[in-house]
Amino acid sequence: MFRIGVCDDEAYFRQDIEKRLEAYFKEKPFEPEIHIFEKGQALLEEAEKKTFDLVFLDIEMPDMDGITLGKHLKAIVEDTLLIYVTSYDAYISYALRLDIFQYLKKPLDDHFFQEEMDRALAQYVLKKQKYNFEYNGVRMSVPITKIIYLESQRWSVIVHTEDENFKIVSKLGEEEKRLTAHGFIRIHQSYLLNMQYIEKFLSDRVFLKGQKEPLPVSRKYKDAAKRAHLNYQSKVGI
């Protein structure tokens, strides 16, 4: 179930977002669980019991501002999608430091709201998808969004994830067929990476979030990889 939190100290905007969400999900094969909050502390206490997939936050609130609240929510679950809804542009730079999903201006635009909900739902679906493989004779399953990149080593493939690495018996070409549709690109004979982790794409190397060393980009794959990355950026709104 897609769990959504809405927090705004103004009743009009709480009700407006709730109505928009209810109308949006009438057309979708998903059942949302929507929780409405007037105060940030109440939302935070609920998130500590059971996390949210998506949270709409006002920024200027009396008990706890939205920036502070967003930091707390990200500390609980880093990949919680945050959408700030505010009348003030002055806070954009602060919000962006939290790796937020989107920043919407009040009053909300119907078309833009629909587009951002489509993106959020796509992210949610991707997060739920699993990558299945056999590791040391045991069937394993990890979220696709947790895979940073795959590395070819002789007759094996090393799956590098956020938590640990797995060496499996396979060919990188076979794994490429499985993962291309999930936002992975081939940048080198030995490397297949998840585009959501790209921090900087240069002509001969790629820097990834959380990784100290960049990965090499070969001439053979450079042009196709760059095109795929630009297309990915346009889809996710980077």
User: What string of DSSP letters covers 127-196?
Assistant: HH-EEEEEETTEEEEEEGGGEEEEEEETTEEEEEESS-EEEEES-HHHHHHHHGGGTEEEEETTEEEEGG
pLDDT, tens digit (0-9, with 9 covering 90-100), for 156-194: 999 999 999 999 999 999 999 999 988 999 999 999 999
Q: Tell me, what DSSP letter sits at residue 237?
A: T
Q: pLDDT-derived band of residue 232, with 50, 70 and 90 as boundaries?
A: confident
Q: What is the pLDDT of residue 86?
A: 86
Whether 2-127 and 130-236 share one fold: the answer is no
Q: Rounded distance, CA 30 to CA 194, Å? A: 26
pLDDT, tens digit (0-9, with 9 covering 90-100), for 36-53: 999 999 999 999 999 999
Domain ranges of the chain: 2-127, 130-236
Place of tokens 């799956």: 159
**Average pLDDT of 29-34?**
90
- CATH homologous superfamily of 2-127 equals Response regulator (3.40.50.2300)
Q: pLDDT-derived band of residue 89, with 50, 70 and 90 as boundaries?
A: confident
Tell which wins on pLDDT, 229 or 236: 229
Q: Rounded distance, CA 85 to CA 213, Å? A: 37
Per this entry, what is the length of the chain? 238
Tell me which of 2.40.50.1020, 3.20.20.70, 4.10.490.10, 3.40.50.1820 is the CATH number of domain 130-236: 2.40.50.1020
